[in-house]
Structure 1
Amino acid sequence: MSIFWVGGPAAAGKTTVSRLFARKYGFLWYSVDAHAFDHEKRAAAAGLHVLGTGPGDFDRRPMIMEDIQSVRTSVVVEGAFVTPQMAGVAENAVWLMPSKEEQRARLQHRNPDTNHEGYIWGWDLIRSQLKDTNATIIPVDGQSIDQTLKAVEHAFSAILEPRHIHDTK
């Protein structure tokens, strides 16, 4: 079993691309963002977080690993909470990064009448976490979903089993 980590800010295409990637290769898709409240409750129960105070900065990796421990297939773990500290910066982790302008445009398209500044702050946070690392960053400005999926596949090609690559051609 392999774990493929996909991070990035809101509107980078993480969920769409990760779900397509997982489906294409027969892997399990795991959304860290979808488990955020459960992770908060578990962290609060362990005394690591005060419930209701926001997403927190506790380490979600042990909870993710616990959640997927019985899975017998590879897993694509994605979300805005996927950090270089959590995933590492090895060949099994990528970050999809739009420019701020692209992120604003995507957020505006997604929700036209919403203030998106909180998401823009998240862009700054993720970018600062990636700075001075060897993380694989995939710029997504102007890319279609298919182009981004191909870039993710290329980034993971060294660890995808040869039979998977052959089966999908």
Structure 2
Amino acid sequence: MTNGLESVMWLGGPPGVGKTTVARLLARRHGLRWYNADAHTWEHRDRAIAAGHPAAIRYEKMPVPDRWSAPMEARLAMSLHHVRGPMVRDDLRALPTAPLTIVEGTPITPDTVGSGPALWLLPTPQLQRRRLDERDLHPGIREFYQHLAEVIAAEVRQSGGRVVTVDGSCGLEHVVTEVEGHFSDVLAHGPVATSQSDRQELLRYANRAFVVQYEAFFTRSWARALGDASDVVLPFSCECAQEGCEEQINLAVADFPAPPDATSLPLLASGHNVYEMQTP
């Protein structure tokens, strides 16, 4: 591969299948960079608007309730599902080549991936309905997510992409193990972070991406009517360097450490300390 994406593993799938949780756990366990495409949604929308993309411009101008009652193909176009792939690739090319990066999100299409190592998690319809039931979603958003699942499944089947079907019967750890096995060769030979400082930097990178996501969201005039960053509480990953740590800290986005402290003060769960790791 000579496209600048030699250190990337791709994990796609529709909303509600669990790809974010799987990627987060794998990144923590193996010392990977975790790129969450959802965290770049509003940044990508701004780039599409700047490029004059009509569906992106239409989305911003349309009253919020009307977005989710539009014809389904219009909703798909306004989601930028088939537009964001090149933006994701550009983002990844701008990152350091080490360590390995696991990329996950709904815009991870076969066209986006190209020939890179990729896997899609596809839920059964029953599992997706159950997962979406757990979310407080507008009916139009829920309907769109179900349609998006069908679109993604069709794209992957047509391309012959590798799939793990998730029905909820085996539990999270089983899915993580399957994904880990699929990428085993890449994980065995690719560069991973081993030092305390490198692992902390990766955790801060992933946490900070969610902060930037909401900061970009609340710059919109229609979004400011919904509140601000002080109203949003997210589960951020504990930034200790322990491989087995899966703790998360609920914190208002507005209270997340801002630069320059963002690179010097680790965010730690209660009772957690910075753990000194030995570099082989």
What is the TM-score when the length of structure 2 is the normalising length? 0.53
Question: 1:58 deviation in Å?
Answer: 4.8
Structure 1 unmatched ranges of 5 or more: none
The aligned residue for residue 104 of structure 1 is 129
The aligned residue for residue 123 of structure 1 is 149
Question: 1:156 deviation in Å?
Answer: 0.7
After TM superposition, list the pairs within 5 Å mapping 1:118-157 onto structure 2: 118-141=144-167, 142-157=169-184
Question: 1:78 deviation in Å?
Answer: 0.5
Question: 1:24 deviation in Å?
Answer: 1.0
Larger displacement relative to structure 2 (42-51 or 5-14): 42-51
Question: 1:114 deviation in Å?
Answer: 5.3
**1:161 pairs with 175, 188, 192, which one?**
188
Counterpart-to-counterpart distance in 2, 1:106 and 1:143 = 15
Query: Are 2:37 and 2:103, in contact at CA under 8 Å, matched by a contact in 1?
Result: yes
Structure 2 unmatched ranges of 5 or more: 1-5, 60-77, 195-242, 244-280
Question: 1:48 deviation in Å?
Answer: 3.3
Q: CA RMSD in A?
A: 2.5
Percent sequence identity over aligned pairs: 33
Query: Are 1:25 and 1:164, in contact at CA under 8 Å, matched by a contact in 2?
Result: no
Residues 1:163 and 1:94: Cα distance change in structure 2 (over 3 Å): closer
1:51 maps onto 2:76 in alignment = no
Q: State the AA in 2 paired with 1:63.
A: M
Question: 1:6 deviation in Å?
Answer: 0.7
Higher gyration radius (CA): 2
The aligned residue for residue 89 of structure 2 is 65
**2:118 pairs with 89, 93, 114, which one?**
93
Q: State the AA in 1 paired with 2:181.
A: H
Question: 1:65 deviation in Å?
Answer: 3.2
Q: SS of 1:29's equivalent?
A: strand
**How many residues in Structure 1 have an aligned counterpart in Structure 2?**
165
What is the TM-score when the length of structure 1 is the normalising length? 0.85
Counterpart-to-counterpart distance in 1, 2:136 and 2:79 = 24
Counterpart-to-counterpart distance in 1, 2:57 and 2:106 = 19
